[in-house]
Chains A and B, each alone.
Chain A
């Protein structure tokens, strides 16, 4: 499972970088979405995968014993998902407005502010 997830994370990052480097702004957005997914999975993976051990203190005990799955990464990922949802929706609107204003979706033609 670790190996499978590692490969998935790698593929997601590679795909997202590829998409970000394309010239179309729509592909840029798709790239950013994929990048966020890759990062979230990476947090999930790097904090260690544990199967079937919920972080619940058993009846009569006062603390967690042995191996248990850490709930914190899930909380981190949830927060990150919410944030990236907001930002991606903003980016989508921004791209639409830029497309209307500039009249092209080609990033190479949006270089007037760089000169």
Chain B
């Protein structure tokens, strides 16, 4: 049963290795990669199903029990993210079939892509901080090469910035790990969570929290660390931009969600307040950066930053809500505490929903930009024009996700923002709510700019009044139809997510509640320290902490007297 946790990591790496054996045949590599990504998606589904049943699933590598061994663990959030990775992988690979050039295919594009997806799965499933670092490096190494592959001048210039800033972030991460290990003597998430909940020097732990926040902030492209993203995301082939926007920055966001919901909950009024405002400023700077751009993919890259801000501010609202609820609980205002807790749960669920929505939508928009590039051989809005007349279907495929990104009602972006705004009002972070609404309007402005100039305006070489060439008199360029397959798939998924928002939101709400329950559970554990019956009752619960650490270890931790007695 537990091997299902390892499969989403193993399958992509097996795919990558298999591809290396058939280095000379791109056709075989395509076949293997397609099989591998279908396998990844299926294993993600299986894992999701298991987590639905059991709550948390974990596996201890080579039988060494946590916290000494290497743990892979999937809770609801992890399983959702792995599933998302599977969707991104499959659509990305399909798009690559239609769009990537022969030269890149020959030089290991597919094995690199598989290795990257394997690394992403690993980062979502790992149970300890150091392995998170290792998976980050696996992802980075593959993404470095994917970004630079082809060796065009802008690619190399972008890659230097990407490599430098991400290396800096990795080193910061490593420094954080070193200092944290010095404090806690362990690196397992669950073990850290249990041990650091009982620390008498929370301010020292908070210092390490900020080292991690900087490191993850660079990965997630949050303000003020995002400068590598607009410098590099528009340079590689569109499929690479799309896949990067789909999962890469999300790995950084996920790391923040994980570390700051499980490990760093000592001084939430400070850490999560800063995350909240980091998010708010990120969304504002991102959208303002996009306003001055005229290249489709550059606009989209800046919007990626802006949307990361929503996810972070959602998470920040959750943290601020929890800490306010704790304060209210201490003062005896149970009703207010319950309302704040509910608001926090909704904010976190909204943030997770936002991650899913943004991955699908932003990937889709990058893919449409790639299709535009294929049709017009240009990405500057001035040089595009007239696409709606020539390709109405592509226009629709752009318009739906673009409106969703801006948050037009009934589309997925609207629901995500609605949850965040409502939670923000309940928790009382009015300023951030106001900023997020203004950013929404600015997003709509940017999307309208692409729509009006790229799709509606007459093509640059025709005089005004003429509406470009008639549909049908342009031949489809090779691979164009294949490129439409993932685009349509993503739009369908996104629309499904919007229409079935009830069930979809219940799934992320469960994930959010599970994340928030861990902190409460650990508090109860420590409060019951020394009382055998209560510990017995608590240890029967199946959650992140008990699944990873096991009953025996926790019992020994909580009952130190019993251990010394014999």
Contact = CB atoms under 8 A, between A and B. Distances in A.
A21 to B, nearest CB: 11
Nearest to B173: A39
B153 A80 contact: no
B174 A80 contact: yes
B471 interface: no
Contacts of B168: 20, 32, 35
A62 interface: no
Interface of B: 130, 133-134, 137, 140-141, 144-145, 148, 151-154, 156-161, 163-164, 167-168, 170-171, 174-175, 177-179, 181-182, 185, 230-232, 234-235
Given A32-B164, A79-B134, A112-B154, A43 B141 contact: no
Interface of A: 20, 25, 28, 32, 35-36, 38-40, 42-48, 70, 72-73, 76, 79-80, 83, 86-87, 90-91, 94-95, 97-98, 101-102, 107, 110-114
Contacts of B164: 20, 28, 32, 91
A39 B173 CA distance: 9
Given A32-B168, A97-B151, A98-B159, 7 more contacts: A36-B171, A76-B130, A90-B141, A91-B167, A112-B153, A113-B157, A113-B231
A97 B235 CA distance: 16
A43 B144 contact: no
Please report whether the interface of chain B is mostly helix, strand, loop or mixed according to DSSP: helix
A76 B131 CA distance: 10
A113 B159 CA distance: 10
Contacts of A97: 148, 151, 156
B165 to A, nearest CB: 10
Contacts of A101: 151-153, 156
Contacts of B157: 98, 102, 110-113
A72 B156 contact: no
8 smallest beta-carbon distances between A and B, as pairs: A43-B178, A46-B182, A98-B156, A39-B174, A110-B157, A113-B158, A83-B137, A39-B171
A25 B160 contact: yes
Nearest to B292: A115
Contacts of B151: 97, 101
Contact of A43 (B145, B163, B174): B174
Contacts of A114: 161, 230-231
B234 A87 contact: no
Given A35-B171, A113-B154, A94 B159 contact: yes
